[in-house]
Structure 1
Amino acid sequence: MVQQRFEGKVVLVTGGGAGIGTGICKRFHAEGAKVWIVDTNREGAEAAAAALNQVDNGKEHARRAVTAIVDISQETAVSALLDQIEVTDGRLDVLVNNAARFVLKSAEMAEERDWDNVLASNVKGYGLVSKHAIRVMKATKTRGSSTEASGCSIINLGSISSFVGQPGMCTYSATKAAVLALTRCTAIDCGPYGIRVNAVCPGPILTEATKRHAASQGKSMEEMVSELTGHMIQHRMGTPAEIAAVVAFMASEDASFVSGASLLVDGGYSAL
Structure 2
Amino acid sequence: MLKSLYSGVSGMKGFQTKLDVIGNNISNVNTVGFKKGRVMFQDLMSQNIAGVTAPTNQHGGVNPKQIGLGTGVGSIDTVFTPGSPMTTNVGSDLAINGDAFFVVKPDPNGNDFYLTKAGNFNRDANGMLVNSNGYSVTGVDGAKDQVPIVIDKDEHTNLKFTSYSIDSNGYINVVSEDGKSGKLAWDATNKQYYLNDGSDPTKDTENISLATSVVNNPGGLMKVGNTMFKATGNSGPANIERIEDNKGGQMIAGVLEMSNVDLTDEFTEMIVAQRGFQANAKTITTSDTILQEIMDLKR
State the TM-score, normalized to the length of structure 2. 0.19
Larger relative CO (CA 8 A, sep 6+): 1 or 2? 2
More helix by share: 1
Q: Which has the larger radius of gyration?
A: 2
